[in-house]
Structures are given as structure tokens and as C-alpha cells.
């Protein structure tokens, strides 16, 4: 349940204002837009990475703006795409003459609004490429990967694209690497309970006690099937098993791994699950690189978790490991 708000219609504006006040050292507001940008942007001659989507997913998306990651995030109302006008204004504010990559989860509203902004920017001579994140294995079969939703895997695609842009790669290369990161990223999730929008008293969906939903969405969409609530070892087997089914053919046996809490599933629970997940992954002969266990792409106070693999190779690993500094994370990989 969401308890803290003033006027629910002003929730997003209050949130952006508070966020920028809390992180003045790293970000500022894009003038006249529901968007935040790195305090270093625009950087002349650098490809700009713009991410975004509805709010309610912190640290996605505004928490991921900063050096080595995104140049800006366009922020919609809760679980609602930002408008094309907002995306356009943000693009004008942060592009540095070397082109722009838009990256966001594959949802129809975002595809439409970012698409309209892309057309408008192209007509003004700004080269924009769009890379959709499609990591959610539960939302469509493997032969229809392009129809899948984007969920927690967003973070890895943004990280790779942001590192590529930060080191000075040209637009074609940033786009290629972002697409490759998405091709190597898979996520599967489960939900134990729905979230409640500000000003509402009923959750967007309910899960019966003792049950869980497989294949959650991050906008209050229920799962694609329900089952008994599983003890941690069996839950780990379900999640790891699903991801192992889709190992990319060129994977070299090392995965960056994210065990993500959706909101009210807490760190302690995630660590319990990680014990069993990491044992299974290692038993399958994979090396785990820089595991992330915590909240990375949330859904308000939803109960649930997701497991993501980024299947690494040498070029993805270099970009994954590059440092980044944003309000939500200081990314440092020990070698």
C-alpha cells in the first residue's frame, strides 16, 4: 500500500522535486520537462543515452542517471509512459551532437511515445536509435523474443549502453552493443502480492495466501500461471531452470546475475534465496560475476522477486565492469 503522498495527481511532480533535492550533486531537472539529466549533460561529441518509462520502479529509471550510465531519464506517471513531448524536450536538452540512443522496456505506450519523439527529432536532424529491452522469458516464447516485455534486465542493457557511450563509442557501436546486451539478457520473476497505487486502497491484483504467480509484470500485471508458494530451494530451482533453458549459443559460461526484489520482498529474503540460486548456478558449471542482490527495478510495494542473467563475453564484460556513478548506485567491480 502507498501511504505517503499529498495530492495523488501531483505524486510524480512531488517525487521528481524530492529526488532532485536529494541528489543535487549528480542530477538536475530538465527544464520544462518531467525528466532528470546528469549534471554533466550535455556532453559535446558523446552519444546520449536516454532511458525512461513510468514511475514506480525506483531505482529505475531516474536513479540510474549519471556518469557511465544514462544521460537522462524521462519520467511518466506511475506505470504510465511519458508523453512524446516530454521525450522530445529531454532529447533536445541532453543530445551532444553525436546522436542519441533511447532504451526502455518493450511496452506499447512507451514504444508509441518514444517512437513519435524519435520521428520528430530525426526530422530536426538528430540521429536517434531505439533499443527495446525484451528480457522477460515468461511473456512470449523464445521464437518471439521481440514481443517480450522488459523487466529487471533493463539495468544490464542500460549499463552496457551507458559504458559504451561514456568511453566515446560512435552511435552505431553504442546501438550494436546495447542490442547485444539485450540479446544476452534473460529474466524470470514471481509475485506473491500486488501493489497499490497512491490514493487507492485496493491492490492492482491479489495472490491467494500460500500461492504465487509465475511470470510477473512490473506494472501490476499478474503472472502467466499460478502455483503453490514454493520453499526457497524449489523456488531457486524454478527460476534458475527457466534461465538455463535459454542460454545463448555463444555464451562462454560466465553470467552477471541480478536477484531483484520488487518492493516489499526484503533483502534478508533475497539473501536466503541467493544461497540456493548461487549453489544451483555453480552446480550447472557457470561462473557468477559480480552478483547483485537487492532492489534494482521495483514495482512500488509489490511482493515478489526476479532473477536475471546477463550472459557475458569479453566485450560485454568490459562494459559491464566499467565504473558508473548515479544517485542509486556507485558501480565498482573488483577484479
Q: What share of the chain is helix, strand, coil (3-state, %, to 5)?
A: 35, 25, 40
Query: Pick from 91, 298, 306, 326: which binds its own copies (CB under 8 A)?
Result: 298
The secondary structure of residue 62, as a DSSP letter, is: G
User: Which of 19, 61, 79, 107 lies at the binding interface for its own copies (CB under 8 A)?
Assistant: 19
Shortest distance, position 262 Cβ to its own copies, whole Å: 10
Angle at which helices 314-321 and 171-183 cross, to 10°: 100
CB atoms near residue 168 (< 10 Å): 13
Question: Cα-flanking dihedrals φ and ψ of residue 231, to 5°?
Answer: -65, 160
Q: How far is 127 from 112, CA to CA, in rounded Å?
A: 18
User: How far apart are alpha carbons 74 and 62 in whole angstroms?
Assistant: 8
CB of 155 to its own copies, least distance (A): 15
Whether 184 is catalytic: no
Sign of CA dihedral 65, 70, 71, 76: negative
The reply on whether position 334 binds its own copies by CB under 8 A is: yes
List the x/- string, 168-197, binding to its own copies by CB under 8 A.
------------------------xx----
Exactly one of 226, 264, 289, 313 binds its own copies (CB under 8 A); which one?
Answer: 264
Any idea which residue has 566515446 for its cell?
Answer: 168
Count of alpha carbons within 13 Å of 78, Cβ hemisphere only?
22
Q: Is 271 in the site for its own copies (CB under 8 A)?
A: yes
Smallest distance from the beta carbon of 68 to its own copies, in angstroms? Answer: 14
CA–CA dist 22, 82 (Å, integer) = 22
| CB closer to its own copies, 150 vs 263 | 263
Q: Is 208 a binder of its own copies (CB under 8 A)?
A: no
Question: Could you give the angle at which helices 154-166 and 171-183 cross, rounded to 10 degrees?
Answer: 160
Binding status of residue 6 toward its own copies by CB under 8 A: yes
Q: Can you name the residues that pair with 10 across neighbouring β-strands?
A: none
Q: Which of 219, 289, 290, 320 is catalytic?
A: 219
Q: How far apart are CA 166 and CA 164, in angstroms?
A: 5
Tell me whether residue 171 or residue 288 sits nearer to its own copies (CB atom). 288
Among 65, 128, 165, 303, binds its own copies (CB under 8 A): 303
Residues 47-66 that bind its own copies (CB under 8 A): 55-56, 58-59, 63
Closest approach, Cβ 98 to its own copies, in A, equals: 27
* Separation CA 164–CA 312 (nearest Å): 15
Q: Would you tell me which residues interact with its own copies (CB under 8 A)? A: 1-6, 11, 14-19, 21-22, 25, 55-56, 58-59, 63, 78, 192-193, 198, 201, 209, 212, 229, 231-233, 235, 263-276, 278, 291, 293, 295, 298, 300-301, 303, 305, 325, 330, 332, 334
Q: Which residues are catalytic?
A: 219
Amino acid at each position: 500500500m502507498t501511504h505517503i503522498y499529498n495530492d495523488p495527481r501531483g505524486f510524480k511532480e512531488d517525487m521528481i522535486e524530492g529526488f532532485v533535492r536529494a541528489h543535487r550533486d549528480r542530477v538536475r531537472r530538465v527544464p520544462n520537462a518531467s525528466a532528470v539529466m546528469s549534471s554533466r549533460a550535455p556532453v559535446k561529441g558523446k552519444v546520449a543515452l536516454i532511458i525512461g518509462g513510468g514511475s514506480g520502479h525506483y531505482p529505475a529509471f531516474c536513479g540510474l542517471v549519471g556518469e557511465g550510465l544514462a544521460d537522462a531519464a524521462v519520467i511518466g506517471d506511475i506505470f504510465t509512459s511519458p508523453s512524446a513531448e516530454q521525450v522530445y524536450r529531454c532529447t533536445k536538452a541532453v543530445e551532444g551532437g553525436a546522436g542519441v540512443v533511447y532504451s526502455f522496456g518493450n511496452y506499447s505506450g512507451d514504444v508509441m511515445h518514444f517512437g513519435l519523439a524519435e520521428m520528430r527529432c530525426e526530422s530536426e536532424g538528430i540521429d536517434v536509435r531505439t533499443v527495446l529491452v525484451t528480457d522477460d522469458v515468461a511473456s512470449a516464447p523464445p521464437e518471439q523474443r521481440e514481443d517480450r516485455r522488459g523487466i529487471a534486465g533493463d539495468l544490464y542493457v542500460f549499463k552496457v549502453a551507458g559504458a559504451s557511450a561514456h568511453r566515446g563509442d560512435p552511435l552505431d557501436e553504442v546501438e550494436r552493443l546495447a542490442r547485444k546486451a539485450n540479446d544476452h539478457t534473460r529474466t524470470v520473476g514471481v509475485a506473491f502480492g500486488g501493489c497499490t497505487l497512491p490514493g487507492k486502497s485496493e491492490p492492482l491484483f491479489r495472490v491467494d495466501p500460500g500461492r504465487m504467480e509465475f511470470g510477473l509484470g512490473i506494472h501490476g500485471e499478474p503472472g502467466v500461471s499460478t502455483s503453490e508458494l514454493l520453499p526457497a530451494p524449489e523456488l531457486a530451482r524454478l527460476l534458475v531452470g527457466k534461465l538455463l533453458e535459454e542460454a545463448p549459443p555463444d555464451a562462454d559460461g560466465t553470467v552477471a546475475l541480478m536477484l531483484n526484489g520488487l518492493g516489499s520482498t526484503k533483502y534478508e529474503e533475497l539473501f536466503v534465496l541467493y544461497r540456493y540460486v548461487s549453489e544451483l548456478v555453480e552446480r550447472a558449471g557457470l561462473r557468477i560475476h559480480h552478483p547483485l542482490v537487492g532492489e534494482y527495478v521495483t514495482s512500488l510495494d509489490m511482493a515478489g522477486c526476479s532473477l536475471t542473467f546477463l550472459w557475458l563475453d569479453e566485450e560485454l564484460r568490459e562494459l559491464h565492469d566499467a565504473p558508473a556513478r548515479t544517485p542509486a548506485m556507485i558501480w565498482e567491480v573488483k577484479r
